[in-house]
Structure formats: structure tokens, C-alpha cells
């Protein structure tokens, strides 16, 4: 519903000719709503095939003959049953790149796998939220989106190699990979990650959300130069090295919290940005979109956030998502 469509939309925005293969009744997310479906499927064409039929398989083969790649986002048994692997499709095109997005891997079975399930299973939910509260989720589909980007990257890398083959990308592997430094600390030093108040970073202090006189401020001090600039503006003395700040975390946070309470989040952002200190007031999505109108694009009658990949000399066109069975548009 999301990982595969997002992967191929990124490619379509960059100029790829993407044909969305759907069952005869249409992909399930068409029923969610047009803004949802279009946000993942703009710039594509659509064909509806019954891949359980001989005619549908023949039509698929004709598409594969002229394609660089096939990306599929189904459970492993369905991928194999419908003949959507490289071993099945190489007879049509030796150079076809077949990308499988699954929950746990193409050879790992059909256990149910959706974004929130994967976030729970890989330790993401356990790391998110207040230490005294329940585990929670980030509020958007981070596993699906991240897996889509990795799948698009794997697809392009395999095409560039000049040989056909199978690419296998799973939501589980992607999210464990994104826990990189947490996993490394545990695997090499036995350090178990822990939730900290206000989303505080494990290694940097102060680097977290702070309450202010009005609103919350994200402050991210990752080296001593940032600290000197911040401390000078805030009137804080001492704690000059990161090692000292980490060792005296509670003292530092108490002092910083007290100082940040003397101004609003917006006020601190205005004061710290010119100094090069990483800081931002916590905004809602509507506020963020209002502050960055250049990211909003039109595709037909709907508005979306455009591609995050900006290529010099290339200006994307944005077309609405296709109606079911709508072929390439001139």
C-alpha cells in the first residue's frame, strides 16, 4: 500500500516511466481516498491485469520485455506464485531487475508485516516516547517510507551494474539498519538503548526538546563550538566540553531548561539561528507547510509535497495518479 508505491513515485518524479500493475478491481488503497492514493501514485500510468490467468501472465511478460525493472510489494508466497521473481521473468528479459519489498525478506515467510507492526518488532516503538510512559510510534509511516527509498536505491544500483537479477529489501532489515549506532553500541559494548525524557540523544548533551515560556524548542548541540555560541547567548558558564556535559547530563539539562524558560520557542529560534546553533521551534505540519511553500506542488486539482530530490537542470512535472487501467499519457 505504501512502501512500493512510494519507491516508484520517487522514480516517476525523477522522470522514470512507471506503469502501475493493479488487479482488475484496483489496488486496495484506491478505497482510502484520492488524496492518500494520489500522494503515492502521481506521475504513473496504470494497467489492470489478472496475473492468475494465462492472458495476464502474457501481458506481464510483454511489459517485462521492454522494462528496466519490476518492483513488487507483496508477501513472498504471492510473489512466487504470480511469477514476479527474476528466475521466473528472465525468459522475457535477461537484464530485468526484479525488486521485492516484503516484511521480513523474500525467503522469510508470510508473517503479517505492516509499518506499525515492524516498528514494534524491531525496537523502534520501544525507543520512542517518555521513559515513564508506554512505547509509542512516530506518527507517520517511517518503516514504509524508509523501505521505499532503500528499494529505489537498490533498483537503481542493480540497473547501473548492467546485469539483471533479484533485489530483496525488507521492512525489518531496513528499520534495524536505521538503528545503526544503537545496534552497534549493543553488539560491541553491551549497551542497551533507553528512552530518555524529551527524546534526548544518547551521545550529545544538550540535544533534545525543551519547554520554553511558550512552546517547545528542539536544541541539538553536537560539538563544543555550538555549545559556546549557545551558552554565550543564554548566559551559561562552564560545561565547556562534550565529555563534561555528558558526564554531568542532569546538571546541564537543569541549567539549560531554566534558561530556555525565559523566552519563547520562536524567540530562541530567532536568536540562535543567526549564530549557527541548530535549533527550531516545534511546529505542526500546517505551520511547517506554511513556512515552506516552495515544497508544495500541484498535480491536477490536488496539492502535494513534491519530490525531495532536486537535480540541477531538471524540473519535474507533476501529473495526477492514474485512473484504473489508464495507460501512458502523451
Q: Is 144 a catalytic residue?
A: yes
pLDDT tens per residue, range 169-179 = 999 999 999 99
For the chain, what is the mean pLDDT? Answer: 96
Separation in Å, CA 322 to CA 57, 60, 82, 239, 328: 22, 18, 23, 58, 9
| From 13, 38, 115, 144, the catalytic residue | 144
Q: pTM value?
A: 0.93
**pLDDT of residue 193 exceeding 70:** yes
Q: What confidence score (pLDDT) does residue 169 get? A: 98
Location of C-alpha cell 531554566: 258
In sign, the C-alpha dihedral spanning 230, 231, 232, 233 is: positive
Are 2-179+298-305 and 198-282 the same fold in CATH? no
pLDDT tens per residue, range 58-106 = 999 999 999 999 999 999 999 999 999 999 999 999 999 999 999 999 9
pLDDT tens per residue, range 12-46 = 999 999 999 999 999 999 999 889 999 999 999 99
**pLDDT of residue 228 exceeding 70:** yes
Label residue 325 by pLDDT band (50, 70, 90): confident
The CATH architecture assigned to 198-282 reads: 2-Layer Sandwich (3.30)
Domain segments of the chain: what residues? 2-179+298-305, 198-282
**E strand map for the chain:** 18-22, 44-48, 69-72, 97-102, 165-170, 207-211, 216-220, 279-281, 296-299, 302-305
Give 2-179+298-305's CATH code, choosing from 3.40.50.10540, 3.20.20.210, 1.10.1660.10, 3.40.1360.10: 3.40.50.10540
Q: How far apart are CA 147 and CA 133, in angstroms?
A: 28
3-state percent helix, strand, coil for the chain, nearest multiple of 5: 45, 15, 40
Cβ count near 155 (within 10 Å):
23
Amino acid at each position: 500500500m505504501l512502501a512500493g508505491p512510494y519507491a516508484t513515485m520517487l522514480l516517476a518524479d525523477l522522470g522514470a516511466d512507471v506503469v502501475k500493475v493493479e488487479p482488475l478491481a484496483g489496488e486496495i488503497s484506491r478505497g482510502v481516498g484520492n488524496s492518500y492514493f494520489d500522494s503515492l501514485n502521481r506521475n504513473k500510468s496504470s494497467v489492470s491485469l489478472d496475473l492468475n490467468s494465462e492472458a495476464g501472465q502474457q501481458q506481464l511478460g510483454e511489459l517485462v520485455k521492454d522494462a528496466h525493472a519490476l518492483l513488487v510489494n507483496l508477501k513472498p508466497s504471492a510473489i512466487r506464485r504470480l511469477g514476479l521473481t527474476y528466475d521466473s521473468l528472465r525468459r522475457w528479459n535477461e537484464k530485468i531487475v526484479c525488486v521485492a519489498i516484503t516484511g521480513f525478506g523474500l525467503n522469510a515467510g508470510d508473517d503479517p508485516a505492516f509499518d506499525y507492526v515492524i516498528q514494534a518488532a524491531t525496537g523502534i516503538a520501544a525507543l520512542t516516547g517518555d521513559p515513564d510512559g508506554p512505547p509509542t510510534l512516530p506518527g507517520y509511516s517511517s518503516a514504509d517510507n524508509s523501505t521505499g527509498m532503500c528499494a529505489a536505491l537498490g533498483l537503481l544500483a542493480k540497473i547501473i551494474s548492467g546485469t539483471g537479477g533479484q533485489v530483496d529489501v525488507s521492512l525489518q532489515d531496513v528499520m534495524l539498519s536505521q538503528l545503526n549506532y544503537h545496534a552497534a553500541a549493543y553488539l560491541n559494548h553491551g549497551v542497551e538503548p533507553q528512552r530518555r525524557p524529551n527524546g534526548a540523544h544518547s551521545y550529545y548533551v544538550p540535544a533534545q526538546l525543551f519547554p520554553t515560556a511558550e512552546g517547545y524548542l528542539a536544541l541539538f548541540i553536537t560539538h563544543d563550538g555550538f555549545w559556546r555560541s549557545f551558552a554565550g547567548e543564554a548566559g551559561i558558564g562552564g560545561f565547556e566540553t562534550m565529555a563534561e556535559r555528558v558526564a554531568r547530563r542532569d546538571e546541564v539539562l537543569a541549567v539549560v531548561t531554566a534558561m530556555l524558560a525565559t523566552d519563547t520557542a520562536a524567540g530562541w529560534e530567532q536568536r540562535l539561528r543567526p549564530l549557527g546553533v541548530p535549533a527550531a521551534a516545534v511546529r505542526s505540519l500546517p505551520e511547517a507547510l506554511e513556512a515552506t511553500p516552495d515544497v508544495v506542488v500541484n498535480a491536477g486539482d490536488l496539492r502535494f509535497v513534491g519530490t525531495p530530490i532536486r537535480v540541477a537542470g531538471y524540473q519535474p512535472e507533476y501529473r495526477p495518479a492514474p485512473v484504473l487501467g489508464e495507460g501512458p499519457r502523451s
